[in-house]
């Protein structure tokens, strides 16, 4: 995660002779607030509660190494060759099995294998979005999705969530209002399970309503589900896709349930949409890596992947507990969501604090997080931060939160002395909410 | 290479309820003429002279398998994790070494690792091309590049080649004429070495002139060089990039010199352009596969990759010889280029024949090729076909050309009976040319 993109002394001052040649969309591409953090957050003395790196050290690496050796010996000529743009049939069959755990209704022909689900986000946006088109996205939303939407010059309108995820009535109002202004909504982007960054899950009794509302407004749903199998109690929620396969494009990933290093994700889409996704992915990358696809296939066929997911659940639950109890102990004046799975809790700072302005002080205190503003398309979120508990061990998480508490306390003193300063009303997860403090 | 994207009986007739939602660019994405062939060309009874699949069976698979096992055991936690968007520093260092063989002037900081060089084509086009912008590309050009350009709604203007590659005077005229019409040319796309599909190489004494002409017109060069190390006599040509590093974006790939199954390619770009490419690739895929990058790194560090390239050169030279001698024996009435490296020869059919119209008959005769029209943005090329000699062994190549000869001969009889039909003037590689028949 070393930041090799730093221009280094003097290089940033070079004239860009191609500056006038860039496409309009290039001017909207900018470094994410997360990326700028990687350089500092990767220093060993910093407790990084910033990244979303899964804790893969628990994988059965010896078994994987042996199985990979066999794969290369037995099927090397296939693994190292080009494959089809849509992805390897054998892997697509297995993806159907994985998705079956969450009630996705699909045939292997409906699946497109991608270079991580990030590429799936990219090609879905590519085939649907003209500059200025409207995407409705949860507030807050995954920073990487917002980056893709921006790069295609979409206009993102946020729909509010509470502790039960997207609020059906508000979504209905938002879609209705947009319809009345004559701006077509191309799709609704949602992470229903163990939300990044909000840490909330769409309530079971809202799922049918969300699907019905989107269908009634003629709006496609883009259901992004990288964390769905990482629920701490082992339960899964029914996918939105399963409730209306013709109205949903579903995205999945092996990055959190297995490992991100292969970059294998996928999209499931209605037939005609899937055909266009294949054309878009062929144009982007020709075909996904056969070696990566067969490695994941081999893992699923030879390792106890369901057992590994259980191991992950236990591990992340322990870390979630460490994070929340440290928050309760050290920063009781803040509030936060209580995730039932996944990697993140969404922290609301005491009134008047600005997470982005506070970040340099946090880094100085050797703790890193992602400021809430990264997760909004419209500058909201300054009073929030995303706290990731996925990577550091529990005692480090506790230490990180302790350090953060010192920063928060110092900031509050400043606010008391100088007033609430320039931070406006604090948006985000609506309160009160039953599972928030 | 199975074509799993066939909609199957009846499925194509389904109504696409999202049809009105697609972006304008999606309507320009269409199945390439190559892809439609894969289903038939992969049948064992067909001699495929269509695809560009390298012959990787000669790789030291046991050594690669063992090295990969060690990699996973020793560095698994790194290999299976996320990495930086720009790519692994260790691999970028090695890429500099590889490129040094062709005179590329670059620092590891100037390199962006991509999911095959196709993704590099995609992100370069993404940051430069607004709909309607002009790209000048060789006639003919790599079909995958034309697909990317079309997906970004570029307007492609072709510049002619002869047996010495791009013709400097014609390029100068083309760029001058475009300048006078006030349409800015965003970049010149060229494959200088062992051209796909034309099989020609840009003459040494033209290289400086091409670079000078582009610079004088203020046009960036996009130099795509997947085959440069596969020259049959072992010599390499100086890269255009080395002649003007600030005026060239250079694309490289391990797909032809090692193996395509990892999907590892790269771009080298002037500093400011490189920064934007990193943002574009992060938006597309977050980061390239660490496992793929470290696998390629391991291969370069532990295997004799220079020796392997020599093996490939010998192998492809033998196949080139088989293809050309079979053409001379069986279809002397056609003409073709004499490639000094790479995978392809460009065949010009006798007057009046249409390679696309003829293809179904060829498939029936159990031989496949790619019709010339696939390699033009404007419908030219019907009198040509690309013949790939990279994959089948020499005796199969000979058999394929023999089958093709039967088809050509049958077509000529038809033309003699019914006249030249609807095939207009035949464009393409200009003749006469010294190394053409």
* ipTM entry: 0.92
Note whether A282 contacts B22, CB cutoff 8 Å: no
Mean pLDDT of B167-195: 97
- Enumerate the β-bridge partners of residue B188: B136, B221
Q: Going by C-beta distance under 8 Å and a sequence separation of 6 or more, which residues neighbour residue A39?
A: A2, A3, A6
* CA count, 13 A, side-chain hemisphere, A393: 3
pLDDT value for A381: 96
For residue B335, is pLDDT > 60? yes
Residues of B in contact with A26 (CB under 8 A): 126-128, 276, 280
Q: What is the mean pLDDT of the segment spanning B20-42?
A: 77
Selected residues 348-367 of chain B with any CB under 8 Å from a CB in chain A = none
- For residue B3, the tally of other CB atoms under 10 A from its CB is 17
- pLDDT per residue as tens digits for the range A236-286: 999 999 999 999 999 999 999 999 999 999 999 999 999 999 999 999 999
Q: CB-based contacts of B394: which residues, under 8 Å, 6+ apart?
A: B318, B319, B321, B322
Does the pLDDT at position B350 exceed 50?
yes
| Interchain proximity A29–B276, CB inside 8 Å | yes
Site from A11, A51, A55, A69 to mutate, B interface, most B CB atoms within 10 angstroms: A69
Phi, psi of A338 (to 5 degrees): -110, 95
Residues in A closer than 8 angstroms to B8, CB to CB, are 109
What is the β-pairing status of strands A248-253 and A264-268? antiparallel
| CA–CA min distance A69, chain B (Å) | 5
Q: Does residue B111 sit in helix, strand or coil?
A: strand
Mean pLDDT along residues A90-96: 98
Query: Per the CB < 8 Å rule, is A17 touching B270?
Result: yes
Contact A80 B56 (CB under 8 A): yes
Q: Cβ separation of B5 and A84 shorter than 8 Å? A: yes
B1/A82 Cβ within 8 A = yes
| Global pTM value | 0.92
Residues 6+ apart with CB under 8 A from B271: A7, A11, A14, A16, B109, B110
> Are B77 and A61 a contacting pair at CB < 8 A?
yes
Mean per-residue pLDDT, B106-128 = 98
Over residues A415-433, mean pLDDT = 50
Contact A69 B73 (CB under 8 A): no
- The C-alpha atoms of residue B315 and residue B217 are separated, in whole angstroms, by 41
| Residues B385 and B401 sit within 8 Å (Cβ to Cβ) | no
Interatomic CA distance for residues B379 and B346, integer angstroms: 17
CA distance B139 to A231: 55
Rounded Cα gap, residues A139 and B213, in angstroms: 51
Give A273's contacts in chain B (Cβ within 8 Å).
16, 18
Q: What percent of chain A has pLDDT over 90?
A: 85
Give yes or no for A291 touching B (CB within 8 A): yes
Measured between beta carbons, the chain A residues lying within 8 angstroms of B64 are: 72, 76
Question: Which of A263, A288, A298 has the highest number of chain B CBs within 10 A, making it the mutation to test binding with B?
Answer: A263
What is the pLDDT at residue B203? Answer: 98
* B12 CA: distance to closest CA in chain A (Å): 8
Nearest to A243 by CA among A224, A265, A221, A272: A221
Distance in Å, alpha carbon of A276 to nearest chain B alpha carbon: 7
Q: Max CA-CA distance within chain A?
A: 70
- Dist CA B201 CA B138 (whole Å): 12
A60 at B interface, C-beta within 8 A: no
- Contact B387/B49 with Cβ under 8 angstroms? yes
Contacts of B36 in chain A (CB under 8 A): none
Residue A434 contacts B, CB cutoff 8 Å: no
B286 touches chain A (CB under 8 A): yes
Q: CB under 8 Å to A135, separation ≥6 — which residues?
A: A125, A129, A149, A154, A155, A156, A157, A185, A186, A187, A188, A189
Partner B, chain A 92-151, Cβ-Cβ below 8 Å: 92, 108-109, 115-116, 118-119, 122, 126-130, 133, 144, 147-148, 151
Look-up of token digits 């994941």: A296
CB-closest option in A118, A220, A272 to B284: A118
Which of helix, strand or coil describes residue B344? strand
Comparing CB atoms, the residue among B73, B270, B283 nearest residue A29 is B283
The answer to whether B9 faces chain A, any CB pair under 8 Å, is: no
Segment A140-150, tens digit of pLDDT: 999 999 999 99
> To the nearest whole angstrom, how far is the Cα of B28 from the nearest Cα of chain A?
10
Q: Is A290 a residue whose pLDDT tops 80?
A: yes
Cis preceding-peptide flag for A140 (omega within 30 of 0):
yes
Q: Which 3 state secondary structure label does DSSP give A113?
A: strand
Q: Model confidence over B95-107: pLDDT tens digits? A: 999 999 999 999 9
> Beta-carbon neighbour count of residue B422 at 10 Å?
9
Q: How far apart are alpha carbons B352 and B336 in whole angstroms? A: 16
Q: Check pLDDT > 50 for residue B371.
A: yes
User: SS3 of B291, please?
Assistant: helix
pLDDT at residue A6 is higher than 60: no
Higher confidence at residue A130 or residue A415?
A130
pLDDT of residue B32: 63
B265 touches chain A (CB under 8 A): no
Best of B21, B55, B78 to disrupt the A interface (most A CBs within 10 Å) is: B21
Summarize the confidence of residues B137-148 as an average pLDDT.
97
| Per-chain mean pLDDT for chain B | 91
Pairing state of beta strands B264-268 and B335-336?
Answer: unpaired
**Shortest distance, CA B78 to any CA of chain A (angstroms):** 8
pLDDT of residue A421 exceeding 60, the answer is no
pLDDT tens digit string along A161-173?
999 999 999 999 9
How do residues A31-90 score in pLDDT, each as one tens digit?
765 566 667 767 889 999 998 899 998 899 999 999 999 999 999 999 999 999 999 999
Token readout for A104 is: 């996705």
CA-to-CA separations, A44 to A33, A40, A47, A291, B76, in angstroms, rounded: 20, 9, 8, 32, 19
Put simply, the answer to whether B263 touches A115 (Cβ < 8 Å) is: yes
Contacts of B56 in chain A (CB under 8 A): 76-77, 80-81
In this predicted structure, the answer to whether residue B164 has a pLDDT above a threshold of 80 is yes
Q: Is the pLDDT of residue A10 over 90?
A: no
**Does the beta-carbon distance from B118 to A11 stay under 8 Å?**
no
Residue B112 predicted with pLDDT over 60: yes
Helix (H) and strand (E) counts in chain A: 13, 14
Confidence at A7, pLDDT banded by 50, 70, 90: very low
The answer to whether residues B275 and A5 touch, using CB atoms and an 8 Å cutoff, is yes
Q: Is A75 on the interface with B (CB under 8 A)?
A: no
Q: Are A261 and B291 within 8 A, CB to CB?
A: yes
Question: In the predicted model, what is the mean pLDDT of residues A410-425?
Answer: 69
CA A196 to chain centroid? 5
* Cβ–Cβ below 8 Å for B65 and A69: yes
Measured at the CA of A359, the angle between CA A356 and CA A360, to 5 degrees, comes to 125
How high is the mean pLDDT of chain A?
A: 91
Tokens of A77: 């000529």
Cross-chain CB nearest to A84 (options B4, B16, B84): B4
What sections of A49-132 are H helices per DSSP?
61-79, 89-100, 116-128
Binary contact (A72, B65; C-beta < 8 A): yes
The confidence score (pLDDT) of residue A42 equals 72
Q: Does B303 touch chain A (CB under 8 A)?
A: no
pLDDT of residue A32: 63
Asked if the bond preceding B382 is cis, omega within 30° of 0, the reply is no
Tokens of A311: 């191991």
Question: Which one has a higher pLDDT value, B109 or B30?
Answer: B109
- Asked if the C-beta of B63 comes within 8 angstroms of chain A's C-beta atoms, the answer is no
For residue B54, list chain A residues with Cβ-Cβ distance below 8 A.
Answer: 81
Question: What are A171-218's pLDDT values in tens digits?
Answer: 999 999 999 999 989 999 999 999 999 999 999 999 999 999 999 999
Q: What is the mean pLDDT of residues B190-217?
A: 98
Q: Is the pLDDT of residue B425 over 80?
A: no
- Nearest by Cα to B389 from B52, B45, B41: B52
pLDDT of residue B280 exceeding 60, the answer is yes
Does A9 reach chain B within 8 Å, measured CB to CB? no
Contact yes or no for A279 and B148 at CB 8 A:
no
Q: Which residues of A touch B133 (CB under 8 A)?
A: 23
Residue A29 has a pLDDT of: 85
């Amino acid at each position: 995660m070393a930041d090799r993109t730093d221009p280094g002394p003097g290089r940033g001052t070079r004239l860009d002779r191609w500056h006038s040649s860039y496409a309009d969309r290039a001017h909207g591409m900018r470094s994410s607030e997360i990326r700028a953090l990687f350089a500092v957050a990767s220093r060993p003395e910093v407790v990084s509660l910033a990244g979303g790196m899964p804790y893969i050290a628990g994988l059965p690496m010896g078994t994987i190494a042996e199985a990979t050796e066999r794969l290369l010996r037995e099927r090397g000529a296939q693994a190292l060759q080009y494959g089809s743009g849509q992805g390897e049939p054998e892997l697509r069959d297995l993806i159907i099995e994985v998705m079956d755990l969450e009630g996705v209704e699909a045939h292997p022909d409906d699946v497109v294998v991608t270079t991580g689900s990030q590429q799936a986000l990219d090609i879905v946006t590519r085939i649907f979005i003209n500059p200025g088109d409207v995407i409705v996205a949860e507030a807050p939303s995954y920073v990487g999705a917002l980056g893709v939407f921006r790069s295609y010059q979409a206009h993102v309108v946020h729909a509010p969530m509470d502790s039960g995820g997207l609020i059906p009535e508000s979504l209905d109002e938002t879609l209705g209002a947009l319809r009345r202004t004559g701006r077509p909504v191309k799709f609704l982007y949602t992470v229903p399970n163990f939300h990044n960054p909000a840490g909330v899950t769409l309530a079971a009794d809202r799922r049918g309503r969300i699907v019905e509302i989107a269908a009634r407004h003629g709006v496609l749903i883009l259901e992004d589900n990288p964390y769905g199998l990482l629920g701490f109690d082992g339960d899964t929620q029914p996918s939105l896709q399963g409730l209306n396969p013709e109205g949903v494009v579903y995205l999945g990933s092996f990055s959190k349930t297995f490992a991100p290093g292969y970059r294998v994700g996928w999209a499931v889409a209605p037939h005609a949409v899937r055909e266009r996704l294949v054309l878009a992915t062929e144009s982007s990358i020709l075909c996904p890596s056969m070696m990566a696809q067969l490695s994941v296939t081999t893992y699923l066929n030879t390792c106890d992947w369901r057992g590994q997911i259980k191991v992950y659940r236990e591990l992340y639950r322990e870390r979630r507990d460490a994070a929340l109890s440290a928050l309760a102990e050290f920063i009781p004046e803040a509030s936060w969501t209580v995730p039932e799975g996944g990697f993140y809790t969404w922290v609301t700072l005491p009134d008047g604090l600005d997470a982005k302005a506070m970040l340099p002080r946090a880094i100085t205190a050797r703790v890193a997080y992602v400021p809430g503003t990264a997760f909004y398309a419209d500058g909201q979120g300054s009073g929030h931060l995303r706290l990731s508990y996925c990577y550091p061990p529990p005692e480090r998480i506790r230490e990180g939160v302790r350090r953060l508490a010192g920063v928060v306390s110092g900031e509050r003193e400043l606010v008391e002395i100088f007033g609430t300063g320039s931070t406006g009303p604090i948006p985000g997860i609506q309160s009160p909410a039953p599972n928030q403090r």
